A and B are shown apart, each in its own frame.
Chain A
C-alpha cells in the first residue's frame, strides 16, 4: 500500500459558496517528508488541510491517505488516526482541564488500553519537552506551551502524518521558536511526515519542499531554494519572501553579484565576505 497522502484532481466547494475554494489540486505528500504550504489569505490552505484528514470530503476528485479513500466513511477514523491535525488557536483545541488528561484524549477515543495510554502520554510529553507540566491546568501555560500540548495530544495517537494549520500564527516569537523546533525534531528524530501551513517564510525555509497556493490553485512546488528565488512571482501573488532573500534580491538590484537563492543568514555571510 502506498505510504503517502495523495490528492488527485481535488475540487472543494463550501455548501453556500458560489465558487470552488480548491480547484483541481494534485499533490503527493510522501512519508517522512517535511512540506510547507504557503499562500495568501483565502488561497485554500486550510481547506486543503481539512481534506487531508477527512474532515472534508472532496466535491470532485479524491484524496487517499496510505491508499485509504477519504470518501469512504468506514475509513474516516483510521485516516484521522494516521493524519493528525494541529490548529491555529491553541486554546480552542485543548479539551481537558489537566495537561496530561488532554494528551490522553485522542488515545482514549481510539480505545487504547489504560496502561498503554499512560505510556504514550508520558512519551508524547517527553517529546514536546513538557514533562514537568503534566499536572498543570492548560490555561496557566504560555501560547507556545499550549500549542506543544496540542502537538503532544496528536503524537499520542501515533500518527504518521501531522498536518499543522498555521500553528504559530497566534504565538509570540519565543513561542513560535519553541513550536518550530518541536516540529523539526518530530520530522528529523521521530520520522513524522509534516505538512506545515504557515505565513512565516522563515519557517517554510526549513521544509524539504514548499507548495505555493493562490486562489484555490497550487501554483508552484519545489525546494525552498527554487521557490524563494522566484521573488517577483511570489510578490505578484502578495507573498513575502524570507528577509535574507529579500536583502540579496535588493543588493543584486544595486549591481552586486550575489546568488539569487540565498535563504539563511549563514549563506548570506558566505556570499558577502568575498565581496568585501
Chain B
C-alpha cells in the first residue's frame, strides 16, 4: 500500500518543530500582517532575514519550500504580468497595444516578493507542525471564543476525524475503482461530461460506505463516553517554554523593523 501523506509535514526535532503550535500560528499570522505593512523594497529585508533564519533553524531543505511554491506558480506569474501591463506610468517597452511601464515592473516585482514570502511563511508552519498538533493549537486558540458561540472543540474534532478518515476513504476509492475497472468501467477517457458520468458508479458506493462509517463511528465514540468538549482532558497538554518566548521576542523585532520601515523612513 502506498503511503498517503496529508499536508506537507516533515517530521523533525528542530527548535521550530518543538515550538508550541499556538506560537507558530500566532507568529505566522503576525508575519502575514506585517508583510502588508511594508511599502518599499528595503522593508522586505526584515521578513527576508526572519524567514531565512527560521528556515535554517528548522533544518528543512529548500527543496520542500520550493515544492510549496510550485502549485501557485500560475498565480504568482499572473500577479506579475497583470501588474506589469496594467499599471500606467513611464513606458519602458511596447508590445503592440500593451506597454510595460517602470511603475508596473516595480509593482509587479514588489507583489511577487510579497506573495512568495507569504507562501514560504505559511509553508514553514505546515512543514514543521503535524496536522494533529496544528488542530490542537487551533482548538486552544479558539477556546476563549467558545463563550461567544465559536464551536472550538467541535471544529477541532471535525478536523481530526477528517484527517483520520481521508486515508481510509482514499484506500476505499482505490478499491472500488479497481473493482469497477475490472468490470469494464473507464475513468480516464472521453470528454469531461463523459468522465463525470463515469464517476457516478464510483461515488455512489463511496458515499453509502462513508455514511455507514459515520454511523459506526458515532456509536463507537458514544460508547467511549464521548460527550463533547466539556470536562474533557487531554493526554498531551500544550506548554510554552522559553523557546516560545524567544520566538515571540524575535517576532517583536520583526514587527519593529517593518513598522519603522513604513512610518519612520
Interface membership of B226, Cβ < 8 A: yes
**B7–chain A nearest beta-carbon distance, Å:** 11
> Which among A53, A77, A111, A114 is the interface contact of B235 at CB below 8 angstroms?
A114
Interface membership of A125, Cβ < 8 A: no
> Which among B132, B171, B219 is the interface contact of A96 at CB below 8 angstroms?
B132
Residues of B24-74 whose CB lies within 8 A of A: none
**A141–chain B nearest beta-carbon distance, Å:** 11
> For the complex, what is the distance from the CA of A112 to the CA of B224, rounded to whole Å?
13
Which residues of chain B have C-beta atoms less than 8 A from A50's C-beta? 219
- B224–A109 touching, CB < 8 Å: yes
**B171–chain A nearest beta-carbon distance, Å:** 7
> For the complex, what is the distance from the CA of A79 to the CA of B170, rounded to whole Å?
36
**A38–chain B nearest beta-carbon distance, Å:** 22
Q: Interface segment, A98-106, A180-188, A205-213?
A: A98-106
Interface membership of A251, Cβ < 8 A: no
Nearest chain-B residue to A100 (Cβ)? B235
Which residues of chain B have C-beta atoms less than 8 A from A113's C-beta? 233
> For the complex, what is the distance from the CA of A42 to the CA of B1, rounded to whole Å?
35
Counting chain B residues whose Cβ lies within 8 A of the other chain, the interface size class is 20 to 34
Residues of A82-118 whose CB lies within 8 A of B: 84-85, 87, 89, 91-98, 100-101, 104-114, 117-118
> For the complex, what is the distance from the CA of A110 to the CA of B224, rounded to whole Å?
9
Interface membership of B231, Cβ < 8 A: yes
Which residues of chain B have C-beta atoms less than 8 A from A106's C-beta? 224-225
Report the count of interface residues on A (CB-CB < 8 A): 42
- A104–B171 touching, CB < 8 Å: no
Interface membership of B217, Cβ < 8 A: yes
- B232–A108 touching, CB < 8 Å: yes
- B224–A139 touching, CB < 8 Å: no
Whether A93 contacts B217 in the complex (CB less than 8 A), given A109-B226, A139-B171, A140-B3, comes out as: yes
Q: Interface segment, B158-166, B176-184, B199-207, B243-251?
A: B158-166
Which residues of chain B have C-beta atoms less than 8 A from A121's C-beta? 235
> Which among B132, B167, B217, B223 is the interface contact of A53 at CB below 8 angstroms?
B223
Residues of B210-226 whose CB lies within 8 A of A: 212-213, 216-217, 219-226
- B164–A95 touching, CB < 8 Å: yes
Whether A55 contacts B223 in the complex (CB less than 8 A), given A89-B216, A92-B217, comes out as: yes
Which residues of chain A have C-beta atoms less than 8 A from B234's C-beta? 104, 108, 114, 117
Interface membership of B242, Cβ < 8 A: no
**B175–chain A nearest beta-carbon distance, Å:** 12
Interface membership of A138, Cβ < 8 A: yes
- B235–A118 touching, CB < 8 Å: yes
- B164–A97 touching, CB < 8 Å: yes
Interface membership of A80, Cβ < 8 A: yes
Nearest chain-A residue to B221 (Cβ)? A95
Which residues of chain B have C-beta atoms less than 8 A from A105's C-beta? 221, 224, 226
Interface membership of B236, Cβ < 8 A: yes
> For the complex, what is the distance from the CA of A266 to the CA of B12, rounded to whole Å?
53
Interface membership of B196, Cβ < 8 A: no
Interface string of B148-169 (1 = CB under 8 A from A): 0000000000001101100110
Nearest chain-B residue to A53 (Cβ)? B223
Which residues of chain A have C-beta atoms less than 8 A from B220's C-beta? 85, 87, 92-93, 95, 150
Interface string of A135-154 (1 = CB under 8 A from B): 00111100000000010011
Whether A97 contacts B227 in the complex (CB less than 8 A), given A87-B216, A92-B220, A138-B164, comes out as: no
**A48–chain B nearest beta-carbon distance, Å:** 14
Which residues of chain A have C-beta atoms less than 8 A from B163's C-beta? 97
> For the complex, what is the distance from the CA of A89 to the CA of B181, rounded to whole Å?
26
Interface string of A35-58 (1 = CB under 8 A from B): 000000000000000100101000
Residues of B223-265 whose CB lies within 8 A of A: 223-227, 231-237
**A8–chain B nearest beta-carbon distance, Å:** 22
> For the complex, what is the distance from the CA of A69 to the CA of B108, rounded to whole Å?
72
Which residues of chain A have C-beta atoms less than 8 A from B1's C-beta? 140
> For the complex, what is the distance from the CA of A112 to the CA of B227, rounded to whole Å?
14
- B225–A95 touching, CB < 8 Å: no
| 6 new A-B contacts at CB < 8 Å, known A100-B235, A117-B235, A139-B168 | A77-B225, A95-B217, A95-B224, A97-B164, A105-B226, A139-B171
Q: List 28 A-B contacts (CB under 8 A).
A: A77-B227, A85-B220, A87-B219, A89-B216, A92-B217, A93-B217, A95-B160, A95-B161, A95-B220, A96-B160, A97-B131, A98-B132, A104-B234, A105-B226, A107-B235, A110-B225, A111-B231, A111-B232, A111-B233, A112-B233, A113-B233, A114-B237, A117-B234, A117-B235, A118-B235, A139-B4, A139-B168, A140-B3
Interface residues of B (CB under 8 A from A): 1, 3-4, 131-132, 160-161, 163-164, 167-168, 171, 212-213, 216-217, 219-227, 231-237
Q: Which 3 A-B pairs have the closest CB atoms?
A: A93-B220, A92-B216, A104-B235
